[in-house]
Homo-oligomer: A and B are copies of this chain.
């Protein structure tokens, strides 16, 4: 009997998604950064995302930073669809020995991120784990996006340029806890240019770019020399590390001049091109079950 560890994350998700029902008002189902549902001009975005001690943060990390990260990850997914945050529900799964101070700090971190970037916590749940079990913070969020602004992973076309915001690699040194969800930038992109596909970089370019290409039914050519690397990061780290929380997106427009004027403090870089057929392949990135 196969285990989920043997099957791996992508395999497990593919298997699960094969069994799900469909409904007319579900515009985007499983497999993208968020689900999108609705029948009108404004769609509802739905997303759930968890952080686990020992996996996404160290057990002795400051809980304000853990709270920021837990919420910012979901906001980053709203950004990736071209949308904005609405209401959030927080599930805390805690062993009884966790200190109340730790929980207080967690909420301070979450609220500080929401205050800065939008969104409000409207409920949630606490559940007890056996003593010694790692803490888990799961954030379920509802966002919104104008139907006309919705961007998925699957709209990329051969010939589109591939862009990333910011610099990649080395997030483990701190950025993975303190990053800025690219809501403002994504909103500008979907309102001012024709973005064909978009996602946020959470599992590393090596995992995420092939996902975008596959969902768009295209290949890609990656210009490795062009990859914007964080200070001190090697090329391999920029490709593999993950948790960059930058936007990866495609367009046939020349976006750079207007972008540089609008966001002088944050670069975008053209890192390659979508092509017909198989194209490059890259190995690496983060698999939740296999590493």
Residues of A within 8 A of B (CB): 1-7, 9, 12-13, 15-16, 19-23, 26, 29-32, 34-35, 37, 44, 46-50, 52, 54-55, 86-87, 89-91, 93-94, 96-101, 103-104, 107-108, 111, 114-115, 120-130, 133-134, 136, 138, 140, 142, 288-289
A123 lies within 8 A of B34 (CB): yes
B12 lies within 8 A of A122 (CB): no
Task: List the B residue with the shortest CB-CB distance to A140.
Answer: B140
CA distance A247 to B29 in the complex (A): 32
CA distance A231 to B119 in the complex (A): 47
Which residues does chain B contribute within 8 Å of A16, judged by CB atoms? Answer: 103, 107, 124, 126
User: At the interface, is chain A mostly helix, strand, loop or mixed?
Assistant: mixed
CA distance A259 to B128 in the complex (A): 38
Q: Given contacts A26-B120, A46-B122, A52-B127, is CB(A96)–CB(B3) below 8 Å?
A: yes
CA distance A32 to B26 in the complex (A): 28
Name the contact of A125 in the complex, choosing from B50, B93, B128 (C-beta under 8 A). B50
Top-5 shortest CB links A-B: A5-B96, A140-B140, A35-B122, A35-B123, A48-B89
Name the contact of A5 in the complex, choosing from B97, B134, B136 (C-beta under 8 A). B97
Most buried by B among A128, A140, A142: A140
Name the contact of A289 in the complex, choosing from B4, B21, B55, B128 (C-beta under 8 A). B128
A47 lies within 8 A of B288 (CB): no
State how many angstroms separate the Cβ of A123 from the closest Cβ of chain B. Answer: 4
B87 lies within 8 A of A12 (CB): no
CA distance A124 to B30 in the complex (A): 7
Name the contact of A19 in the complex, choosing from B23, B44, B86, B108 (C-beta under 8 A). B108
